[in-house]
Each structure stands twice: as structure tokens, then as C-alpha cells.
Amino acid sequence: MKYVILSLRFTSSKNQHLIGSSKMEGLNFERLTQNYLNHCKYEKGLDEKTMKAYNIDLAQYASTSSDPNDLFTKKHLQLYIAELHSKYSIKSIKRKIASLKAFFNYLEYEEIFSPNPFSKIRLKLHEPFLLPRTIPLSTINALLTCAYQQLSTEDKESRKYRSTLRDIAVLELLFATGMRISELCTLHNYDVNLAEGIIRIYGKGSKERLIQIGNHEVLLAACNYQHSYSKQIEETGWFFLNRLGNRLSDQSVRFMINKYCQMAGIQLHITPHMFRHSFATLLLEEDVDIRYIQQLLGHSSITTTQIYTHATSKKQKDILTAKHPRNKINTH
């Protein structure tokens, strides 16, 4: 099979484009990758986390051959995919392959490289079905109670008091909004309108959604934090900050949750994403329409949201107890 490679020319603007010519030149996977990442950033508007994942996945693939021409062949892709199976989970493999597919689709669409080596590769990757891990409401109550009790013991003028105010706001908003940890940590000052009780969230693919804070205690916790950190928030533009005045990181939030779990004697290992799972599952158990939950979570497809219908064991029990037709049979 004959492969057509078109040479590259870069412009100096941020929206760099690959321009084909009839002259054949050697492949430069690194340059192609950089140009593709520019396309993802400036034209598709992908977020930093997605860009970082793409960069890692493409760099990993590039390191598998000393001959750059191999990287564009079906045979090398098949060998690479086989190697992935010996090292990674199905979920990680699917992500890495998706990164490569998107890259080669881009090259084909822009008429930079043809044919697409993925066009003749058929993959069936079945990820084990795992129910979302949730946090019992009693455990969330214990976690929040511990944080509020900690606040009550601190000197109101101390740095620790201010950091506890922030911790409470983080915990409250994770549960109240169901937002992803990456979404919470990248909130800007202008995204949070506490006067109206509205938070603007930018999700995957820079999709925007608005979340209303409906609980008075949650709103008060966010307001108290904002008032305490108002100067730093105004200076940096980020809403959640660490003790150094920098944007709060995902890892800092994980550490924070672990700290309060230990203080409260909670044995369950709780991750930030479990608040999101709990948010969705508990709303379903309260008979909230799944289409509203889809919007609140920022899912582009309701299929993604439907995984939570499998997790509501309490709801299942209530339905079968009250609605099962066996209740209409009287054998006595």
C-alpha cells in the first residue's frame, strides 16, 4: 500500500496550519504532534487536562520506534496496541488508542497523510462494568460535621481558620454541585456569582453549564470563604487558592479529603469524584428526572448518566417493595 506524505510549512501565528506540497519529505512525528496540539488548543478549545493527556499519549507512541516511518504503519500500530494490553487496564488502553485515532483522523482530514492506518484496524475493547462508588449520606454528614467542628476550635484570626473555611467550601461545593475536581480547581473569580447563587462551570470540551446553589448552608460556606480570601482571589483571578496564593490543585483536594476522613474516623477511602457519583445517585433516589441530572453533570449523552440507574439499590428496593405485582396476589 502506498502512503502519501505531504510536507509541512508553519506560520508564525498561534493558529498554525499544515500546508501540503507535492514534494515528498521525511516524516517528523514531533512537528506533526505539535501542530495537532495547536489545532486542539486554538481551534477545538480543549482544556489543559485533555491537552496534557494527548501530549503524553502521542509522546509515548513516538518513543516506540527509532524509525519515524514505522509510526505511520498499520503493523506498528497493531504491535503497539498488543503491548498496551500487557501493561495497562482496558480503560487506559481505550484512552491511549482514542488519542492516536484522533491524531491520525486529523492528519487524514487535513490531507497531510493518507491512508489512515486505523482504517483497517478493528478493535473490540470491553471494559468491565463497574458501578459508580458512592459515599453514604451518613458518611458525608460525618465528614462535613468534622470540618465544621474543626473550624469552631480555631482562632478566627489564624491562617488555619482561613484554610478550614476554604476546606469547608470545597467539600460543600463538591457535594452540592456534582462538579468534577478539575472543574472546581479551575474556577475563576468571575465564574462564581454568590449574590445570585450561580456557578458557571466549564466541563469537558469547554462545554459550559450553570449550577444553582440551592442550599443556604452551602451558599454561606462559599460566601465566608470568598470574603476571607477576597484580596487574593481578586489578585490571582482563581476562586480556590492554596496557602501560597496559587490555584488549588487536584492533589491538594485529595489530601484535604483524606485529612478530614482520618480526623472523623472514616474508614472508607473517599475520592473527589465519589462526591459527583453520590450527587447523581442520591438525586435519582429522590425521583429527580435523569435528564435534569444529565444537564447538571454536563454529560453530552444521557447514556453516560444512565450508569447511575444501576447504582440506586435503595430505589430498586423501594420500587420492588411497593410496585411488584406479587403484592396483588393473596394466597390466604
Q: What does the pLDDT look like over 146-161, one tens digit per residue?
A: 999 999 999 999 999 9
The per-residue pLDDT for 126 is 63
- Claim to verify: residue 143 and residue 12 sit in the same structural domain: no
Query: Are 110 and 144 within one domain?
Result: no
Where helices occur in the chain by DSSP H, the ranges are 29-38, 48-62, 74-85, 90-109, 137-153, 159-177, 181-185, 216-228, 230-236, 250-264, 272-285, 290-297, 302-305, 313-323
| Residue whose C-alpha is closest to residue 264's, from 142, 161, 170, 165 | 142
DSSP assignment string, 180-220: -HHHHHT-BGGGEETTTTEEEEE-GGG-EEEEE---HHHHH
Count of structural domains, the chain:
2
Q: Tell me which of 61, 180, 260, 277 is the catalytic residue.
A: 180
Inside any domain, residue 82:
yes
Judge whether 252 and 238 are in contact, CB under 8 Å.
Answer: no
Residue finishing a domain among 120, 153, 170: 120
CATH number at residue 165: 1.10.443.10
Residue 323 in domain: no
CA dihedral sign of residues 236, 239, 245, 246 = negative
Assess if residue 327 is contained within a domain: no
Of 10-14, 54-58, 70-74, 293-297, give the lowest mean pLDDT range.
Answer: 10-14
Q: What CATH code is carried by the domain that includes residue 115?
A: 1.10.150
Domain match, 99 and 160 both:
no
Whether 17 is in a domain gets the answer yes
Domain interval for residue 233: 137-314
Q: Report if residue 238 sits inside a domain.
A: yes
- Catalytic, 9? Answer no
* Gap between the Cα atoms of 183 and 237, Å rounded: 15
- In 3D space, the residue among 186, 174, 192, 237 whose CA is nearest the CA of residue 52 turns out to be 186
Catalytic residue (choose from 96, 166, 276, 277): 276
Tell whether 112 and 141 lie within a shared domain: no
Q: Given this model, what pLDDT does residue 23 score?
A: 32
Inside any domain, residue 132: no
Q: Give yes or no: residues 73 and 167 share one domain.
A: no
Whether 69 and 5 have beta carbons less than 8 Å apart is answered as no
Active site (annotated) includes residue 17: no
Q: Specify whether 61 is located in the same domain as 162.
A: no
Which of the residue ranges 120-129, 238-247, 321-330 would you say has the lowest mean pLDDT? 120-129
Instruction: Tell me which of 61, 93, 120 is where a domain ends.
Output: 120
pLDDT of residue 296: 93
Q: Assess whether 180 carries a catalytic annotation.
A: yes
Same domain, 159 and 285: yes
**324 part of a folded domain:** no
Catalytic residue (one of 204, 209, 254, 259)? 204
As a whole number of angstroms, the distance between CA 42 and CA 206 comes to 12
Within 13 Å of residue 313, how many CA atoms lie on the same side as its CB?
Answer: 5
Q: What's the rounded mean pLDDT across residues 284-295?
A: 91
70: its cell numbers: 514505522
Average pLDDT of the chain, as a whole number = 86
Distance of alpha carbon 89 from alpha carbon 86, whole angstroms: 9
pLDDT (average), residues 234-245: 95
Same domain, residue pair 70 and 200: no
Known active-site residue 209: no
Q: Are residues 184 and 257 in the same domain?
A: yes
Q: What is the pLDDT of residues 38-82, one digit of tens each?
A: 999 888 888 888 889 999 999 999 999 888 888 999 899 989 988
% of residues, the chain, pLDDT over 90: 58
